[in-house]
Amino acid sequence: MLTGFVHGLRHLRADIRKYLPAFLAMAAAAILLLATTLTTGIAAERMGAGVESLGGIADVGLVPETAGGLIAEGQAEEIARMPDVALAIPTYSESTVLRGPDGRELTPMLTGYPTRHNAGLAFEGLEGDLPGRGAAELLLPRDIAGELGAGIGDLVEVLGSGGVEELRTVGIVDPDELGMMAYENVFTDLGTAQRLFHHAGQVTRVDVQVTSDPGQWALTAQQRLPEGVVVQETGAITASFAPVLQAVGIILKVVSGAALAMSVLLTAVAFSSVVRARRRSYSLLRTIGAPRGWVGRGVLTEAAILGVLAGLVGALIGPVVTLGLLRVLPGEGGWPSFPGVLLHAFLSWAICVGAALAGCAAALGQLYARGALHGLASADRGISRRRRMLLGGGGLAAVAAAAALLRPEGTTSSSAVAFFLLLTGAALTAPLLVAGSARLLARGRWTLAYAARRLSAEGQMTAPAVIIVIMVGLSASLLTVAGSLGGAMERQIASQFGADVQISSQVPVREEDPGGLRDVGGIRRVTAIGALDLEVRSERPEDAGLRTSALSIDPSGFFDTAELAFTETGSKGDVRRALDAGAVALPESVAGALGVGPGDSVLLRVEDRSVRAPVAGVFVSLSTGTQLVVPRDVAEQLGDDPGYDAWHLAVAEGSSAGDVRDRVEAAVREALPGASVITGAEMRDRAAGEIATYTFSVLGLVSITVLVGSAGVAGILSLSVLRRSAELSTLRAIGLSAGAVGRLLLAEALILAVPTILSGALAGTAAGWALCRVLADAMGVSAVFHVDLPLTCVLAGLTLGALTITGCWPVIRARRTAPATSLKSA
């Protein structure tokens, strides 16, 4: 018995070649979808793991309210006396540099804990002893001890605020025993840590063990905690990483969404052309009495099988692609459980099947709309001119709306809407554009005229035109994002980190001239830079403040060695003078968030001290986020001297930066272990390298998009060659060589590709700017519109290359059309 399903199965076998492009596109979309969801999930997981490891040893962590603040030990004792508190452990932690006995260096967190609790700490397999009270002693986890090459009794150099000190390793412990604290921590006595970093009587956190439910305790304790102390919200830390994740997620989602859209489009084309080719046999079936549903079930069966298979391919290859993507991401682990992977795989598989069914909907519509006799009528001629005009009008309106939304004062969501409107608008106008350019060429010489007339008369090429616009538009927008963010970053780094030689230390030190830099030859000027955490707010009392960090600089020295990439084009000299007079420079992201600019004032606060400072200028801040620049005397008014952790050097005339770097490296080796000393040129190279890495990953995404799109376009073109075999073979019979027929196809492809690539590139660049704003907002930074010309050329080359390679397929198919076919086929 021939059921509708069996019928569909047979048809599928017969037309397998026509379905190939749609199948590949669906599989690619499924792969992208799965890889995207898995990767973003894993990235979040890794971040979470990183945050967890910052968490403490007990039930609830208490930290200072203000960034960079500290908790007094007296407050810690107050906390220990609070109800339901079984134990309160104050600790002092600071990231520092350790140097082992044989010179190997590491930068872990040095944590001081109250050694009076030693008796309660029972580490199984502890080698040696725990650090003694007030002693210069160190407890190392076994892995760190191994990396440092330090054993019991060995001296380890530690960089503190006052310079290098030696601590003796007294104990080595299994990291597993330490639980969460194992993550890159070494331990000493609390008093020792406080002394090392010049913070006597102060701690960075208090971990509390409670006798009641920790969540409940945290909620009720909040009001009773001492002034300036809050319950640590690990969510807040996650939130600070979230923007980057979100930005990556947005890009990946946009790409897989576009791949999905293209695959639906391709499936739709494949099915409607297959159904069109079969219209005779379908109407015959209907004539001999087959019900419509029977025929429809056949088509649905084909779509379902295609979707199921493509989805399976995606589900199998997706995890492999994910593994590749994970190599690029920082961190380790976080790979979801097998059921988790299975669930994601199932979801993308289901979406793929859905896409296949959606793709065949148009074909089913054709089938159902048509009467039994319709199959013998003439072939339909694609979308009508009126519909094309209507769509084109809609597209233009969308582009106009997007332009209106893209005004400078637009919001994140209006930028996002503009992004979609631009791409959709360009896609809608594509058929009109192709028809229009074809009409211009229709009176040209033979090859052009043939191709042009086909394209202007028939709507068959709607789908490839749309696909090219989507694929080029998306790629151009991604590259614009990469170019804009990368370009801005590069410019900022070039100016702000442009000093001839730069030193940065892991730990801020009090010494303004560590290692006697002034005595090193070949240096014209040295300026020391410190860092502090603070809160900044506008003068409007109702506005919320922003916690961030700041560089404290000596204006004359700083600007003598480097620059800030100011966005305002006022005189640089004025800005420096203003900074000299106690004004501050804001990154564009902070200025935007607070709604302030040059001429306004902001309030800076560290703990209970605050300073009002005018805004001297606003600078591009891509690589430094929300970091402010404040003059040193303002920083001093805000609190204790924060010390110095970076030095900018200007090289004297006649000396080479490389030589100076080598000499400086030797000079500070003792005083600043682990410090990095690099030249401005090296800094720029490093930045360029980092930017190139992420540009390459964007290019990778773009390549996938372009490949999927090109394969789709080639697939549709070769479907159209199959459909036109009678026409092409007639031309062959009349005397056109195979090559000449191939050239007709080439001309078609060119007329199709050139205007659509151009419009896609234009719309995509504008859309890229919109996307750039969305992403910059998500990351809290600012971006400057910048089209990277070499990148754009790479895209154009990539697209043309992919189209050429995949385009060989229909051209070869056209060339193979046998001249004798014209005698047979209708």
Interface contacts to another protein, rule CB under 8 A: 378, 445-446, 449-450, 453-454, 457-458, 726-727, 730-740, 818-820, 822-826
Q: How far is the CB of 729 from another protein (least distance, A)?
A: 8
- Which lies closer to another protein via its Cβ, residue 211 or residue 737? 737
Residue 381: how many other CB atoms lie within 10 Å: 11
Q: Are strands 109-113 and 185-189 parallel, antiparallel or unpaired?
A: parallel
Q: How far is the CB of 806 from another protein (least distance, A)?
A: 25
C-beta of residue 95 within 8 angstroms of C-beta of residue 183: no
Residue 27 CA to its chain's centroid (Å): 24
Q: How far is the CB of 588 from another protein (least distance, A)?
A: 56
- Which lies closer to another protein via its Cβ, residue 205 or residue 743? 743
Distance CA 129, CA 193 (A): 18
Q: How far is the CB of 283 from another protein (least distance, A)?
A: 19
C-beta of residue 395 within 8 angstroms of C-beta of residue 426: yes
- Which lies closer to another protein via its Cβ, residue 214 or residue 819? 819
- Which lies closer to another protein via its Cβ, residue 709 or residue 742? 742
- Beta-strand ranges (E) seen in 30-143 are 60-64, 71-72, 85-95, 98-99, 105-106, 109-113, 127-128, 137-141
Where does residue 289 rank: exposed (0-12), middle (13-18), buried (19+ CB within 10 A)?
exposed
Can you spell out the DSSP letters for 621-675?
-TTTTT-EEEEHHHHHHHSS---EEEEEEEEPTT--HHHHHHHHHHHHTTTSTT-
Sorted by sequence, the CB contacts under 8 Å of residue 685 that are 6+ apart come out as none
Q: What CA–CA distances, in Å, run from 629 to 410, 535, 613?
A: 27, 13, 12
Q: How far is the CB of 16 from another protein (least distance, A)?
A: 17
Distance CA 687, CA 695 (A): 12
Residue type, 593: A
Can you spell out the DSSP letters for 583-618?
-EEEEHHHHHHHT--TT-EEEEEETTEEEEEEEEEE
- Which lies closer to another protein via its Cβ, residue 744 or residue 795? 744
Q: How far is the CB of 461 from another protein (least distance, A)?
A: 13
Q: How far is the CB of 745 from another protein (least distance, A)?
A: 15
Using alpha carbons only, give the angle 105, 106, 108 rounded to the nearest 5 degrees: 155
Q: How far is the CB of 265 from another protein (least distance, A)?
A: 25
- Which lies closer to another protein via its Cβ, residue 411 or residue 737? 737
Q: How far is the CB of 759 from another protein (least distance, A)?
A: 24
Residue 765: how many other CB atoms lie within 10 Å: 20
- Which lies closer to another protein via its Cβ, residue 448 or residue 579? 448
- Which lies closer to another protein via its Cβ, residue 657 or residue 736? 736
For 506, the enclosing helix (H) or strand (E) is strand 501-509
Q: How far is the CB of 822 from another protein (least distance, A)?
A: 6
Distance CA 629, CA 548 (A): 11
Nearest to 90 by CA among 240, 194, 195: 194
Q: How far is the CB of 691 from another protein (least distance, A)?
A: 50
Q: What CA–CA distances, in Å, run from 703 to 282, 489, 691, 706?
A: 40, 24, 18, 5
Q: How far is the CB of 263 from another protein (least distance, A)?
A: 30
Q: How far is the CB of 727 from another protein (least distance, A)?
A: 7
- Which lies closer to another protein via its Cβ, residue 453 or residue 510? 453
* Distance from the first to the final alpha carbon of the chain: 32
Where does residue 439 rank: exposed (0-12), middle (13-18), buried (19+ CB within 10 A)?
middle
Q: How many CA atoms lie within 13 A of 419 on its CB side?
A: 26
- Residues forming beta bridges with residue 18, ordered by sequence position: none
- Which lies closer to another protein via its Cβ, residue 738 or residue 800? 738
Distance CA 356, CA 370 (A): 22
- Which lies closer to another protein via its Cβ, residue 439 or residue 547? 439
- Which lies closer to another protein via its Cβ, residue 243 or residue 819? 819
- Which lies closer to another protein via its Cβ, residue 224 or residue 381? 381
- Which lies closer to another protein via its Cβ, residue 139 or residue 452? 452
- Beta-strand ranges (E) seen in 179-311 are 185-189, 202-203, 205-210, 229-231
- Beta-strand ranges (E) seen in 77-146 are 85-95, 98-99, 105-106, 109-113, 127-128, 137-141
Q: How far is the CB of 758 from another protein (least distance, A)?
A: 24
